[in-house]
Amino acid sequence: MFRKALLPLSLLMILASCAPKWEAHDADGYFLITQEDGPTLGYNTAPILYNKGYAFKDLNRNGSLDPYEDWRLPAEGRAQDLAARLSIEEIAGLMLYSSHQSVPASNYGASQAQYTGKNLHHSWDLSDQQKQFLKEDNLRAVLVTSVESPEVAARWNNNLQKFVEELGQGIPVNISSDPRNETAATAEFNMGAGGHISLWPTPLGLAATFDPSLVQEFGSIASQEYRALGIATALSPQIDLATEPRWSRFNGTFGEQPLLSADMARAYVDGFQTSPGSPDGWGLESVNAMVKHWPSGGPEEGGRDAHFNYGKYSVYPGGCFEQHLKPFTEGAFQLEGGTGKASAVMPYYTISYGIDPSGKNVGNSYSKYLITDLLRGQYGYDGVVCTDWNITYDNKAIEAFDGKCWGMEELTVAQRHYQVLLAGVDQFGGNNAKGPVLEAYQMWVADFGEEAARERFEASAVRLLLNSFRTGLFENPYTAPAAARETVGNPAFMQAGYQAQLKSVVLVKNHDSVLPVQKAKVYVPKRFYPQTPGMFGLVMGPEAHWDYPIDRALVEKYYDWADTPEEADFALVMIKEPFPGSGYDVKDRQQGGNGYVPISLQYRPYKADFAREVSIAGGDPKEASTNRSYKGKTVKTYNEADLDLVLDTRKKMGGKPVVVVVNLSRPAVLSELEPYVDAVLLTFGVQNQAVLDIVSGVVEPSALLPLQMPADMRTVEEQDEDRPLDLRCLVDADGNAWDFGFGLNWSGVIQDARTERYRNSVGARN
């Protein structure tokens, strides 16, 4: 039964001339009010006000219906009203974006969660640290990583919303997530399968479909799953133009072709942000899209990544800076749906070297030219701009995964906050404490006066609040645990994701039409799994070992299993692209070098004879030299054994067909293996079952290369990091160039409307 105590004097407050247009309900740990021609209100302890038969939440508990509480008013006006009511301390909290939060909270390491007076009782309990940044620091944007289950995520969200409902102006929490829907090869699909969330290819795999409508469908499905989990902001899509083939984040992009990237970006954001049937597109199924990374992190010099000091420079030797803006300016900022443009933008860590006309070379979030002059001024973007995570923290060593304060290393933490605000940014990613923001406010007061400082902070507050008003969080931030169980990863969504996986697998070689293979015996050799360093410099996965790359029981649903090559009709070899490391080696520095080493895309050891003598960019307070060249140095890949496996299998099979499947996250030099195999499939994050469906002919391949496959490492070294499609491509034994837009089906080379639109728009230099 609905508890009337939560509706004080409700019957007396209803105007006698207006019949009530609402009904109250108990929900699972919170309460709902549904009303005719009005939004559903979700709340816990907030008083309810009534006006002309409608119900409203009295979020600040002052007994009056304030404009920001009136859902009949436009979102922008409500945001302006609330921003004007907030103290500077409250606005400083809005400018914070939490560090990564797992559900339940982390139980190990330096970030181990604490729970006052008790151990963790439920997986959805709030930790002391979370209560601290919500209450004391006024933080209202929380980034979630792993969750135990959809139901746990929903209950944790509801605890979070209940906690903040009782604080200050009753501002709800806007929960966000990095991409959650990418699959694992070992996940198995069946028609009735449900899961923790629907499983799709990586963004690069989505790009391989060359089908923006499929990407929009993904956004529409994922947004429903996100909202069921309590998530209202997606820290995606990553629409950097991936013109540097060695970059480790290539697989998070839609590739390097500007038109395809723009079309995919538009479709992705439209899918996430659009609530069907809403006049302006915004509603309870909308998820704010934070596109990243302005103005593109794609052209990293030498392929090194800006999460680390040694990769902090993006360079433009080809003069193609404007091409990198197109996925934003012609895609995410020009939506076909009613929401108009992506609601938020994240600049990348990089220093876009030589781009600022003033000559300043600082991280993108510190650049007034890139944020205020270009993004907001020239391109008219008026949404939220949020830094990437931890850019105001100190960086202790070249190789350290800590602060990423590129170009501002000599400043204090508070001074860095001030520089970010001067650049025109609204929010600080990964910062839980309001103290440095308040210090930055005082710096603004000292330089420009109290009125100007208040005006600057309110402008950011309006933008930040608008993303919560438009997605309906002020009316109902709660989510039903039962709905989370039923919605997230339901069979229909799983099926859609699996179909997308099938459409993302690229067939690049099929000599003598060896594929498809049906009713045969297959030999699957074991693969060597090396230990490799991860993003944070930590060893990833178990100890080095040999194992089958695919489950035998799954294979036997399609083929007879052959224990030896002699008894097999064909071999299926499943490997990964060459893994070279990050482009920096502490041992090289300790031995007198500068620490910089090549990033190789080939399996065999590579010597960088064709690299630059002098790097385009360089320099850091911790380095004596500004030259980051690695010319003449040699590196080995961690998984050279993958090439050995292919060659060994070729010998053992004699003249019988060898089919190779390579899982890619970026371009690779496959000329070392191509002459020795009969068929090659390239995958971008799919379940093994999808591979077998294509190899066996259950499904015909239809995907196209969303990138170029280089002929050798010389072309990789000689290409311009910023120029799209400028590699010499591998030409195989059948005379096919593995170029952007190339792919085979059972009939041969695919030529269709997709290749006509995208292959001809930007030429390749071959």
Confidence at 305, pLDDT banded by 50, 70, 90: very high
Confidence at 12, pLDDT banded by 50, 70, 90: very low
- CA-nearest of 584, 657, 669 to 620 is 584
Kindly state the average pLDDT of the residues 681-701: 97
pLDDT at 759 > cutoff 90 = no
pLDDT at 15 > cutoff 50 = no
Kindly state the average pLDDT of the residues 317-333: 98
Q: Is 482 helix (H, G, I), strand (E, B) or coil?
A: helix
pLDDT at 489 > cutoff 80 = yes
Residue 194, pLDDT score: 60
Beta bridge partners of 49: 56
Where does residue 471 rank: exposed (0-12), middle (13-18), buried (19+ CB within 10 A)?
Answer: buried
- Can you tell me the distance from the alpha carbon of 454 to that of 168, in angstroms, rounded to the nearest whole number? 19
Kindly state the average pLDDT of the residues 613-624: 95
Question: What contacts 173, CB < 8 A, 6 or more positions away?
Answer: 134, 140, 141, 142, 157, 160, 161, 164, 473, 477
Asked if 728 and 715 touch (Cβ cutoff 8 Å), the reply is yes
pLDDT, one tens digit per residue, over 438-459 is 999 999 999 999 999 999 999 9
- Can you tell me the distance from the alpha carbon of 303 to that of 319, in angstroms, rounded to the nearest whole number? 17
Residue 40, pLDDT score: 96
Confidence at 576, pLDDT banded by 50, 70, 90: very high
Kindly state the average pLDDT of the residues 728-732: 98
pLDDT at 765 > cutoff 60 = no
pLDDT, one tens digit per residue, over 639-677 is 999 999 999 999 999 999 999 999 999 999 999 999 999
pLDDT at 181 > cutoff 80 = yes
Percent of the chain with pLDDT over 70: 93
Percent of the chain with pLDDT over 90: 87
Number of CB atoms found within 10 A of residue 9's CB: 10
Kindly state the average pLDDT of the residues 62-91: 98
Asked if 718 and 317 touch (Cβ cutoff 8 Å), the reply is no
Residue 532, pLDDT score: 83
CATH number for the segment(s) 83-487: 3.20.20.300
Tokens for 462?
């309006």
Which of 175-189, 316-330, 452-466 has the least mean pLDDT?
175-189
pLDDT at 102 > cutoff 50 = yes
Which pTM value belongs to this model? 0.95
pLDDT, one tens digit per residue, over 389-415 is 999 999 999 999 999 999 999 999 999
pLDDT, one tens digit per residue, over 346-404 is 999 999 999 999 999 999 999 999 999 999 999 999 999 999 999 999 999 999 999 99
Residue 8, pLDDT score: 38
- CA-nearest of 362, 356, 370, 461 to 424 is 370
Kindly state the average pLDDT of the residues 104-127: 73
pLDDT at 763 > cutoff 50 = no
Q: Is 29 helix (H, G, I), strand (E, B) or coil?
A: coil
pLDDT at 2 > cutoff 70 = no
The count of residues in the chain is 766
Domain ranges in the chain are 4-73, 83-487, 505-578+639-702+729-758
- Can you tell me the distance from the alpha carbon of 40 to that of 56, in angstroms, rounded to the nearest whole number? 10
Confidence at 1, pLDDT banded by 50, 70, 90: very low
Confidence at 538, pLDDT banded by 50, 70, 90: low
More confident residue, 406 or 128: 406
Topology (CATH) of 505-578+639-702+729-758? Rossmann fold (3.40.50)
Work out the mean pLDDT of the chain and round it to a whole number: 93
Beta strand 174-177 with 141-147 is parallel
pLDDT, one tens digit per residue, over 249-284 is 999 999 999 999 999 999 999 999 999 999 999 999
Q: Is 191 helix (H, G, I), strand (E, B) or coil?
A: coil
Kindly state the average pLDDT of the residues 172-184: 88
